[in-house]
Amino acid sequence: MENKLEPTAPHFDSLPAAAPSAEAFIAEKRIGERIRRLRLKRSMGLVELGRHTGLSASFLSQLETGRVVPTLRNLARVALVFGRDLSYFFEPEPHPLFRVHRRSERVRLPQSGVEDPTYYFESLAYMVPDRQLDPYFAEFVPVRKGAEVRPHVHPGYEFLYLLQGDLEIRHGDRTHTLEAGDSVYFDAATPHAYRCAGSAPAVALIVTMHQMTPQPAAAPRPAPAPTPIRPATAAASQPETDSKTEP
């Protein structure tokens, strides 16, 4: 006897006249594949899912492969196990992110904020919205002897792989020289600067991650005294903070 407290729903698998259209609808929405993805994401077997839903493992297997048409009640049982709403199985599936950037579409930009750039860069993912990392193609040009390279900072982390040439990286108080094939991963919230270390340009792939760098907890400090405004020449020597558009 059916529980009167449970809302009634059309039984696709008990209505022969409606079966062809129901099967086509189920196949179009790829409901079986969605159930299988949810199950595998939880590392759950068919038998375990059957215990939670009250459905047999063989029925669930046929459901995932599209050989049986489920009732809305059965789908609701599955949805409940995975904390999903019943509408999850009928809404359009989001398209996975995939974006190609052609070399001819890239824009070469100089280092910002300086009159004599020491590197040029091209974003490799500028057309991807809400991206969590930024890949760049960068070319570091030789600098004149004695020229000072200004350090900069930005939130997150940075990875650099040197394709060709020699590159000097200053990170905080330490300086490292990379050769072609070397790579480095570092905290980008620490002031860092690059300098071409050879007579030919150094070329690298750079990936910056937007994750904020965790900071150690510090004891409360008294409010500092107001700091006098410094001349522009003094401020220019401080590390610059970059946006997402530049490594």
* Helix (H/G/I), strand (E/B), else coil: 242: coil
Please, are residues 195 and 118 in contact by the beta-carbon 8 Å criterion? yes
Tokens 């929405």 identify what position?
A: 29
246 alpha carbon, distance to own chain's centre? 17
In our burial notation (b when 16+ CB lie closer than 10 A, e otherwise), range 90-104 reads eeeeeeeeeeeeeee
With cut-offs at 50, 70 and 90, classify the pLDDT of residue 41. Answer: confident
Please, are residues 140 and 165 in contact by the beta-carbon 8 Å criterion? yes
What is the bridge-based pairing of β-strands 152-153 and 240-241? Answer: parallel
pTM of the predicted model over 0.85: no
> In this predicted model, what pLDDT tens digit does every residue of 184-212 receive, in sequence order?
999 999 999 999 999 999 999 999 987 65
Which CATH number describes the domain made up of 103-212?
Answer: 2.60.120.10
With cut-offs at 50, 70 and 90, classify the pLDDT of residue 1. Answer: very low
Would you give the DSSP letter of residue 231? P
Q: Where in the chain is the domain with CATH 1.10.260.40?
A: 12-89
Type and span of the H or E element at 137 = strand 133-140
Query: What is the pLDDT at residue 123?
Result: 93
Query: What is the pLDDT at residue 2?
Result: 43
What is the side-by-side order of every strand in the sheet holding 133-140?
109-110, 119-123, 133-140, 202-209, 157-164, 183-187
> In this predicted model, what pLDDT tens digit does every residue of 145-174 receive, in sequence order?
777 888 999 889 999 999 999 999 999 999
Which CATH number describes the domain made up of 12-89?
Answer: 1.10.260.40
Query: What is the pLDDT at residue 158?
Result: 96
Query: What is the pLDDT at residue 113?
Result: 80
Report residue 84 as tokens: 């999903």
Query: What is the pLDDT at residue 110?
Result: 92
Q: Where in the chain is the domain with CATH 2.60.120.10?
A: 103-212
* Helix (H/G/I), strand (E/B), else coil: 40: helix
Query: What is the pLDDT at residue 137?
Result: 97
